[in-house]
């Protein structure tokens, strides 16, 4: 399983990989992960090979590992029945080459809609050109593998619209049982100086320029101005953090905007979610939106835009409120929910029910079955 990203680099791709790797061994599937080395914070895990790389321009949190280094590591790895590529960079090129050389199937999970990323992270290209390049790359790479996996129906529609003809399965990342262990929201607030009775908005996620954070800031600042007792907590890192810091310092509600970095997923993140009265989210580029599920698993109602992959979670309105993309409208929805404790409790119960329907073990079982099907087809073809 080659990937250009993994923990300690925190994002949805790392979370998805870790979730499936945590469930597959109990289902009889052995997984060797090849991922970049980041430094002293790298966790030592069984069946995890760290490969040296270099920082990526414009995004120093990431590491570039050359396709050659991936190929050498794949050649030395134990024999595999399937190669499962997780990212479309060096890991993709090396993974496809290794699978073809060994005569085994290659499956790829397409986690990210790069059409909207390129316009932010390739600044020298005009937006239209950047998007066209992203579509062409997605089409070429998607058609180079035997099977694609996407985390939402919307992402399947996107790739099909690009002209990808490879079979595409929708397989979202589920939640492990540990995600439902109740966090200690009261302790989390106390440690960060947030009054126990204060209305609290929480946002968790990578602070990337593509995440619609300017809109989120405008909407949440309105809430804080209209409700002077309210606080807003932002957890995450990324290239847009400096801009958020500047806006918070200059805001009339800046003293009530709490900016945190990455939080330990097991020790701190559940308590961060549980501390909130509402989870707020406005990204329009998510292929799934795992943080929404994680917040729901703590019984926290969500106020979010339903765009791309998050529609699979939010379209039925259970456990959530989905306002229009207008800062005043979004803020009004938050204020109305903060003022209605009975409705918040009801939506929180619904949110927990929604989260429980997304089982990581069930998703891993579907992935195992897909591996078996692909491997069986490959053996049949080779025997002819």
Query: Is 7 within the bounds of a domain?
Result: no
Are residues 181 and 271 part of one domain? Answer: yes
pLDDT band at 129 (very low <50, low <70, confident <90, very high): confident
From CA 51, how far away is CA 63, in angstroms rounded?
A: 10
pLDDT band at 57 (very low <50, low <70, confident <90, very high): confident
Range of lowest pLDDT (126-130, 155-159, 169-173, 307-311) = 126-130
- Cβ proximity of 4 and 90 under 8 Å: yes
Share of the chain above pLDDT 90, in %: 88
Assign residue 168 a region: left if phi > 0, alpha if psi is -120 to 50, beta otherwise?
beta
Please write the tens of the pLDDT for every residue from 280-302. Answer: 999 999 999 999 999 999 999 99
pLDDT band at 125 (very low <50, low <70, confident <90, very high): confident
The CA-CA-CA angle for residues 142, 102, 362, to 5°, reads 55
Mean pLDDT across 231-249:
95
Share of the chain above pLDDT 70, in %: 98
Which of 345, 205, 198 lies closest to 262 in space, CA to CA? 205
In this structure, the strands spanning 59-64 and 83-85 are unpaired
Please write the tens of the pLDDT for every residue from 149-179. Answer: 999 999 999 999 999 999 999 999 999 999 9
Mean pLDDT across 116-140:
81
Q: CATH number for the domain including 216?
A: 3.40.50.2000
Examine the pLDDT at 122 and tell me if it is beyond 90.
no
pLDDT at 103: 95
Average of per-residue pLDDT values in the chain:
94
Are residues 214 and 133 part of one domain? Answer: no
User: Looking at the whole model, is its pTM more than 0.85?
Assistant: yes
Are residues 239 and 152 part of one domain? Answer: no
State the total domains in the chain. Answer: 2
- Cβ proximity of 259 and 237 under 8 Å: no
Mean pLDDT across 326-333:
98
Which of 275, 97, 49, 114 lies closest to 182 in space, CA to CA? 275
Are residues 240 and 202 part of one domain? Answer: yes
Query: Is 4 within the bounds of a domain?
Result: no
Its domain, for residue 206, covers 177-356
Which of 280, 216, 200, 212 lies closest to 251 in space, CA to CA? 216
From CA 213, how far away is CA 368, in angstroms rounded?
A: 37
């Amino acid at each position: 399983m080659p990937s250009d990203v993994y923990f300690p680099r925190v994002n949805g791709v790392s979370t998805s990989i870790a979730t499936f790797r945590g469930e597959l061994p109990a289902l009889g599937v052995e997984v060797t992960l090849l991922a970049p080395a980041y430094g002293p914070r790298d966790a030592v895990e069984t069946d995890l090979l760290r490969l040296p790389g270099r920082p990526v321009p414009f995004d120093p949190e990431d590491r570039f590992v050359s396709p050659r280094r991936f190929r050498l590591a794949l050649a030395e790895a134990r024999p595999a029945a399937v190669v499962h590529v997780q990212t479309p960079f060096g890991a993709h090129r090396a993974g496809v080459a290794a699978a073809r050389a060994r005569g085994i199937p290659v499956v790829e999970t397409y986690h990210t809609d790069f059409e909207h990323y390129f316009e932010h992270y390739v600044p020298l290209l005009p937006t239209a050109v950047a998007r066209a390049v992203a579509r062409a790359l997605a089409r070429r790479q998607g058609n180079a593998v035997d099977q694609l996996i996407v985390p939402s129906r919307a992402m399947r529609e996107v790739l099909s619209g690009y002209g990808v003809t490879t079979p595409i399965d929708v397989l979202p990342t589920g939640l492990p049982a540990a995600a439902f262990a109740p966090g200690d929201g009261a302790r989390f607030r106390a440690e960060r100086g947030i009054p126990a009775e204060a209305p609290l908005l929480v946002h968790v996620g990578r602070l990337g320029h593509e995440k619609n954070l300017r809109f989120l800031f405008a909407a949440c600042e309105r809430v804080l101005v209209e409700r002077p007792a309210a606080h807003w907590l932002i957890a995450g890192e990324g290239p847009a953090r400096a801009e958020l810091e500047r806006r918070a310092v200059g805001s009339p509600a800046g003293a009530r905007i709490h900016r945190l970095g990455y939080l330990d997923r097991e020790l701190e993140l559940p308590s961060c979610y549980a501390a909130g009265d509402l989870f707020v989210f406005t990204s329009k580029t998510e292929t799934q939106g795992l943080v929404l599920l994680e917040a729901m698993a703590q019984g926290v109602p969500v106020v979010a835009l339903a765009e791309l992959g998050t529609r699979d979670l939010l379209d039925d309105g259970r456990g959530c409120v989905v306002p229009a993309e207008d800062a005043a409208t979004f803020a009004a929805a938050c204020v109305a929910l903060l003022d209605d404790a009975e409705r918040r409790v009801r939506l929180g119960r619904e949110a927990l029910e929604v989260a429980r329907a997304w089982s990581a073990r069930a998703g891993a079982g579907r992935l195992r079955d897909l591996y078996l099907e692909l491997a069986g087809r490959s053996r049949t073809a080779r025997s002819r």
